[in-house]
Structure 1
Amino acid sequence: MKRFVSLYSGAGGLDLGFIAAGFVPVFANDISADAMKTYSAAMDAISKKTGKTLNHRIVTGDIREVEELPERGSAELVIGGPPCQGFSVAGKMDPNDPRSRHVFDFLGMVERVQPRAFVMENVKALAKNKRWAGTIADIRKKAKDIGYETKLEVLNSADYGVPQTRERMFLVGFKDPSIEYDYPKPTVKKWLSVVDALRGLPPLGEPGNDQTCKAKVTTAKNPVLRPSPFAGMLFNGQGRPMDMDKPSPTLPASMGGNRTPIVDQETLETGASQWVEKYHAELQGGGSVVDSVPIRLRRISVQEAAAIQTFPRDMPWCGSQCSRYRQIGNAVPPKMAFAVALSVAKALDMDLEANPSLLDELG
């Protein structure tokens, strides 16, 4: 069997990777109604594309309040990415943040279902930051107490064909202590760039790339300079320009306004030098802050953010525009999830029928 229970599913980035690897969902849950609508629409699209109906239970609400939970033996895997705001360096790193307790709720479901293995995704800080050393030790001890040997590693999504240097912790547990597990090796020799991701989309404003961010790009009156023109604070808000020739930095869930990353349209279209590099050099040389930025600088659209995360081109996003950006920023890149799924299947000696084309288009 190859069934999985999905917790804290969001829009389904982790699930899409596991489904493409050949696993079959039996239950999915998230507290966000918009994310669950997106998830449901994506599952319907997969069913239509493959001819194989995915009619598993999709439940919206706090997992701690769901009445009919998956039973023991209902799945071979439990997967999910519990809320990470309490652990993230982008947040307050509050040890008392109640959202941080969801990692133990996740393990409570593992204990209930008793799968052959589980996969828990979270931010890099939970695995590497000394502040959370005791917490991750407690998590692994709890996993051992309920019968699972664990492996812990931080993976970079850029190593798996994702045009984004998103580093994430993956805690993988196995019920059979004799199983030998190796995290997936990089699947690409060269990291993909922002340009690689965006050039495959329709032009901005046309169908397929028409969910644009309205937040304007203006120069900071008192710019904060760093050695790189793509760091510091040269513009309003916290949405920094992305180096078009490299993978994107981690996309935040706070996109949709002034925190939305910035791209250079002329570089995208013609390969021209990036305007921000020239401006940064002028500022470093004592030049003045400009009154306005050229129209070639703009913020990424919803579909462009989704492409950088490697969601399928026709992913059916639901909810308000801010909600769509948030769903994308909170997600596990499906191509990264696919690599992890294949590695788990190999460790469990599962003969799965992988279908990576599901990560290209759903419609």
Structure 2
Amino acid sequence: MNDIDEAPAWTSIELFAGCGGLALGMHRAGWNGLFAIERDPMAFETLETNLVDANAPYKAFSRWPNWMPRKNTDLVALLANSEFCDHLRGLKGSVDLVAGGPPCQGFSVGGKRDGEDERNSLVYRMLDFVELVQPRAVLIENVEGMARRFVSKPGTAGTSVAEDAIAKLEDLGYIASYHLINSADFGVPQARKRVAIIGVMAAGMSRQALHDLTAVAIERAAKAVRVEHGLPAEGNITVKDAIDDLAGARVVTSPDSPRFKSGVYGVAKSAYAKLMREGVMEGAIPDSHRMSVHGEGVRTLYELAHRTQTPGRLSKEFLLKNGTKKDKKVLLDSAALVATITTHPDEYIHYKHARNITVREMARLQSFPDRFTFHGRYTINGPRRRFDVARCSQVGNAVPPLMGEGLGRAVIEVLTTIGEIKAKPKTSRRTKVDA
């Protein structure tokens, strides 16, 4: 089914799709993916296996058009192709949403902020795509730093990428606003703070009115996601809730890496763990649960941290004193949320065992269900990390699916409400005159 003439309700396209965290969430919220664009071959393999293939466990893209390559593709290169742009123009009126999370390293507060970073320009290539397709709505998800203003150069005013993107959306005929959100509110066991820009075609609506409408929709969607999935309506999902059944009480040879070990599932005691394991056989070996092989020095360091350190980020003094030059190591707190998961599993020490957390444990902390499998190399070090996306980076860069589902629900509510407002007959302002 590649024709779009009879497209189902709530049709979306995703850019910078990564391994598919946002796409999975949008699918569960009721969106029908038309196609997705992702540059990296390993990330696209994960996306395709889980969300695109005929036998994918989550069939999020069932109407992929023949003219769109079903492989890893670069958005900038596609936009330079006039034939591709003609196809995009042909989609006008048939697409409800263009969504995506452009690479964020240039304005991430967790790294070096650089207003000149070429990756920042990809936000504007997304807007070029929007201009061609003209969807009813636009969703841009990104790091909190997107809303922070860069230090201005002499003679210029500093601005944030979020503010600039909103201004450009308004130039294209959209009303847009941004919202600061926290993944923990959606039932993710992680304090991952993000910016969500939502723009809609809504002539006559003010930015403030859209902001207020969207804020209510996001809050309502966050609660609905938790309740619908059987999670507590309030309170945080802890690290222990998320990964305790993966701790590895019974260790076996890793199925995809014979030199490594993997843990077999333990008992799922929390509602969250049970949700993550839906559709997975008892006694199975979790996907991507390969455990690191540490040298004696690292094991000694981790055992010492367990005995003497408070959970949280370990001090530089402790790390240097005990023979490591790593300046970031986090001893997970089993009774709390984890801070934002990065692309480096070696930054996180398991709360119970003297080892780093696994890719599967990272995925649990991001709310990826266990049926969602990851593909490509486990890790990549050195300069290639900037260009190749190994499993750990796929997970760390992803939108948590539960949060993606909440955003998808919120956009549907906003579009539905705007449609209802437009459909209401105007009330006459004439006053009744006495006879």
Query: Which TM-score tier does this pair reach, normalised by the shorter chain?
Result: 0.7 to 0.9
Offset, 1:10: 0.1
Q: Which runs of 5+ in 2 are unaligned?
A: 1-8, 152-157, 224-232, 249-261, 265-284, 380-389, 418-435
Choose the corresponding residue for 1:246, options 336, 354, 359: 336
Cα distance change on mapping 1:46 and 1:190 into 2, 3 Å: farther
Secondary structure, in 3 states, of the residue corresponding to 2:355? Answer: strand
Find 1:16's aligned residue among 12, 16, 24.
24
Residue by residue, what CA displacement relative to the aligned partner does 1:263-285 show, whole Å, maximum 9, x if unpaired? Answer: 122xxxxxxxxxxxxxxxxxxxx
Which residue does the alignment assign to 2:12? Answer: 4
**1:25 shift after superposition:** 0.8
1:174 paired to 2:253: no
Whether the 8 Å CA contact 1:11–1:331 is kept in 2: the answer is yes
Q: Which one-letter code corresponds to 1:230 in the other structure? A: G
**Cα separation, partners in 2 of 1:5 and 1:334, compared to 1, 3 Å:** same
Given the superposition, is the C-alpha separation of residues 239 and 45 from structure 1 closer, same or farther in structure 2, using an over 3 Å criterion? farther
Is structure 2 residue 239 aligned with structure 1 residue 194?
Answer: yes
TM-score norm. by structure 2 comes to 0.67
**Distance in 1 of aligned mates of 2:329 and 2:194:** 21
What amino acid does structure 2 have at the position aligned with 1:181? T
CA RMSD, Structure 1 to Structure 2 (Å) = 2.5
User: For residues 193 and 83 of structure 1, do their structure 2 counterparts lie closer, same or farther at Cα, with a shift above 3 Å needed?
Assistant: same
Q: Could you tell me which residue of structure 1 aligns to residue 290 of structure 2?
A: 211
Q: How far apart are the structure 1 equivalents of 2:28 and 2:54? A: 10
Conserved? CA contact 2:184–2:192, under 8 Å: yes
Which residue matches 1:286? none
Are 1:320 and 2:377 counterparts? yes
Distance 1:337 1:166 in 2: 12
Q: How does 1:133-172 map to 2 (within 5 A)?
A: 133-172=159-198
Answer whether contact 1:262 1:297 (CA < 8 A) is retained: yes
1:118 & 1:125 partners in 2: Cα distance?
A: 19
Q: How many Å separate the matches in 2 of 1:159 and 1:153?
A: 13
Structure-1 residue corresponding to 2:350: 263
1:339 is the counterpart of 2:365: no
Distance 1:50 1:168, change over 3 A: closer
Tell me, yes or no, if the aligned pair for 1:14 and 1:333 is still in contact at 8 Å.
yes
Asked if the contact 2:51/2:60 (under 8 Å) is kept, the reply is: no
Residue of structure 1 in register with 2:111 after alignment: 91
Q: Does 1:100 align with 2:128?
A: no
The answer on whether the counterparts of 2:52 and 2:59 sit within 8 Å (CA) in structure 1 is no
> Percent of aligned pairs with the same residue?
29
> Residue deviations 1:184-237, cap 9 Å, x none?
1142410111000002447352310632233545539xx9xxx96512334442
Q: Which moves more between the two structures, 6-15 or 170-179?
A: 170-179
For 1:228 and 1:111, the matched residues in 2 are separated by: 51
Equivalent residues of 1:28, 1:59 under 8 A apart: no
Measure the CA separation in 1 of the matches of 2:290 and 2:32: 31
Structure 1 unaligned regions, length at least 5: 266-295, 351-363
Q: 1:52 & 1:139 partners in 2: Cα distance?
A: 28
More helix by share: 2
**Which of the numbers 341, 353, 359 marks the counterpart of 1:302?**
359
Q: Deviations over 1:285-326 (max 9, x none)?
A: xxxxxxxxxxx3221111110011001112121100011000
Cα separation, partners in 2 of 1:302 and 1:169, compared to 1, 3 Å? same
Q: Which residue number corresponds to residue 27 of structure 1?
A: 35
Which residue type is aligned with residue 35 of structure 1?
A
Counterpart contact for 2:24–2:60, Cα < 8 Å: no
Distance 1:36 1:110 in 2: 22
- What CA deviation, in whole Å up to 9, does each residue of 1:49-91 have, x standing for no partner? 5788725254412201024353332411000000000001222
Select the structure with the greater relative contact order (CA < 8 A; seq sep ≥ 6). 1
The 1:120/1:190 distance shift into structure 2, 3 A limit, reads same
Of the three residues 76, 86, 106, the one matched with 1:64 is 76
Residues 213, 302 of structure 1: 8 Å contact kept? no
Question: One-letter code of the match for 1:250?
Answer: T
Rounded to whole Å, the distance in 2 between the matches of 1:197 and 1:44 is 27
Is residue 2:136 matched to residue 1:116?
yes
Higher mean displacement: 94-103 or 72-81: 72-81
Letter paired with 1:164: Q
Matches of 1:51 and 1:110 in 2, distance apart?
Answer: 24
| Map of 1:278 onto structure 2 | none
Q: Distance in 2 between matches of 1:129 and 1:246?
A: 31
